[in-house]
């Protein structure tokens, strides 16, 4: 057995022996990068697409970045079923608790700031400092919406004056399962701007991520999966928007639809499909094209219903 290097003296009065240097590791061939194929995020898990398909995701400059799962109609139905199962628990949680859960997501998002900046820079073709600014804005926006969780009732509810010995209250309640077509050009800030308000108001979401820039959405799914957000409250699908969005719009267990990322060519088709079971539809506001303006409560209030309660005075 060879002698191990030591720093102990060899004998009385002898100087300590210096540790032997470790030879550097050399490779005969350059290391190959690990090729990644990302999965969907459905029901708190990461399944492969039911179809087995995937598609290549490229950087703005054309370089290959990774492969993303190509979701099918069956995947959309599975995601809606998962959202429906999770909706009751999430909407029944206290508003304060929802705010704390969403704030934790923002904390974890900021911990992975550099990773998200690299994904945004590659996908959107912007400089690293601009990508960092977009990530910081996304974190701030998530915090902003988290802070609204226990304040929505203050602006959307009221105590109504009525004749008679009654109290009459109007209270906001979640709409239910919301289908979200995420913005195509703003892969992270735009995504946060449409997903966070849906969750803040107590709804569950099924998101069709940006078709050409899905990697920030996939990374956000990893954050959601390791946060305190219950599985199924947010479900993220990657694939062809023109294939998946109509399935969401026609699905009778989807209660509302956000067309933020729908092109003008398919927006009318989606609205017509949503009208079949009287879904609530939020059209894209042209002023939100850049997604870097100041957020407003509008997107939260778009997906709440008003419940009116009568209560006898003195009981």
Residue 13, pLDDT score: 64
Residue 213, pLDDT score: 97
Which DSSP helix (H) or strand (E) runs through 208? strand 204-208
How are beta strands 166-174 and 304-312 bridged, if at all? antiparallel
Residue 164, pLDDT score: 84
CA distance linking residue 296 with residue 300, whole number of Å: 8
Closest by CA to 174, choosing from 77, 262, 280, is 280
CA distance linking residue 266 with residue 32, whole number of Å: 41
pLDDT digits (tens, 9 = 90+) for 123-162: 999 999 999 999 999 999 999 999 999 999 888 877 888 8
Residue 26, pLDDT score: 65
Its sign, for the CA torsion 208, 211, 216, 222, is positive
- pLDDT < 70 regions, the chain: 1-18, 24-27, 287-289, 315
Q: Which domains does the chain have, with CATH numbers?
A: 37-312 (3.40.605.10)
Instruction: Cite the DSSP H helix spans in the chain.
Output: 73-92, 95-111, 113-124, 128-148, 152-156, 189-200, 215-225, 241-250, 264-274, 298-301
Residue 294, pLDDT score: 86
pTM: 0.86
pLDDT digits (tens, 9 = 90+) for 163-206: 888 888 888 899 999 999 999 999 999 999 999 999 999 999 99
For helices 215-225 and 189-200, the axis angle rounded to 10 degrees is 40
Number of other residues whose CB lies within 10 A of the CB of residue 275: 11
CA distance linking residue 298 with residue 147, whole number of Å: 15
Q: Which two tokens stand for residue 215?
A: 């990697």
State the residue for tokens 């062809």: 240
Residue 3, pLDDT score: 53
**Which residues are within 8 A (CB) of 137 and not within 5 positions of it... i.e. 6 or more apart?**
189, 292
Residue 267, pLDDT score: 94
């Amino acid at each position: 057995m060879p002698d191990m290097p030591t720093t102990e003296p060899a004998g009385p009065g002898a100087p300590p022996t210096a540790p032997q240097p470790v030879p550097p590791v050399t490779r005969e061939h350059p290391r190959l990068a690990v090729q990644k194929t990302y999965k969907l995020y459905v029901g708190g898990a990461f399944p492969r697409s039911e179809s087995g398909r995937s598609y290549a995701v490229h950087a703005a400059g054309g370089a290959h970045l990774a492969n993303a799962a190509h979701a099918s109609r069956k995947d959309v139905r599975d995601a809606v079923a998962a959202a429906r199962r999770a909706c009751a628990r999430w909407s029944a949680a206290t508003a304060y608790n929802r705010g704390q859960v969403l704030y934790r997501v923002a904390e974890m998002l900021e911990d992975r700031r550099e990773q998200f900046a690299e994904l945004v820079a590659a996908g959107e073709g912007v400089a690293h400092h601009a990508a960092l600014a977009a990530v910081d804005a996304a974190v701030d926006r998530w915090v902003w919406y988290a802070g609204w969780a226990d304040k929505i009732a203050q602006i959307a509810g009221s105590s109504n004056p009525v004749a008679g010995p009654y109290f009459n209250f109007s209270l906001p309640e979640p709409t239910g399962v919301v289908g979200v077509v995420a913005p195509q050009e703003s892969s992270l800030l735009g995504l946060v701007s449409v997903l966070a308000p849906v969750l803040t108001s107590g709804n569950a979401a099924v998101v069709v991520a940006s078709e050409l820039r899905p990697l920030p959405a996939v990374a956000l799914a990893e954050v959601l999966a390791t946060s305190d957000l219950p599985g199924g409250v947010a479900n993220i699908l990657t694939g062809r928007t023109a294939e998946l969005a109509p399935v969401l719009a026609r699905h009778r267990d989807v209660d509302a639809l956000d067309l933020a990322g729908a092109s003008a060519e398919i927006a009318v088709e989606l609205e017509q499909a949503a009208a079949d079971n009287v879904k609530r539809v939020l059209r894209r506001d042209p002023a939100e094209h850049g997604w870097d303006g100041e957020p407003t409560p509008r997107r939260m209030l778009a997906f709440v219903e008003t419940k009116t309660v009568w209560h006898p005075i003195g009981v």
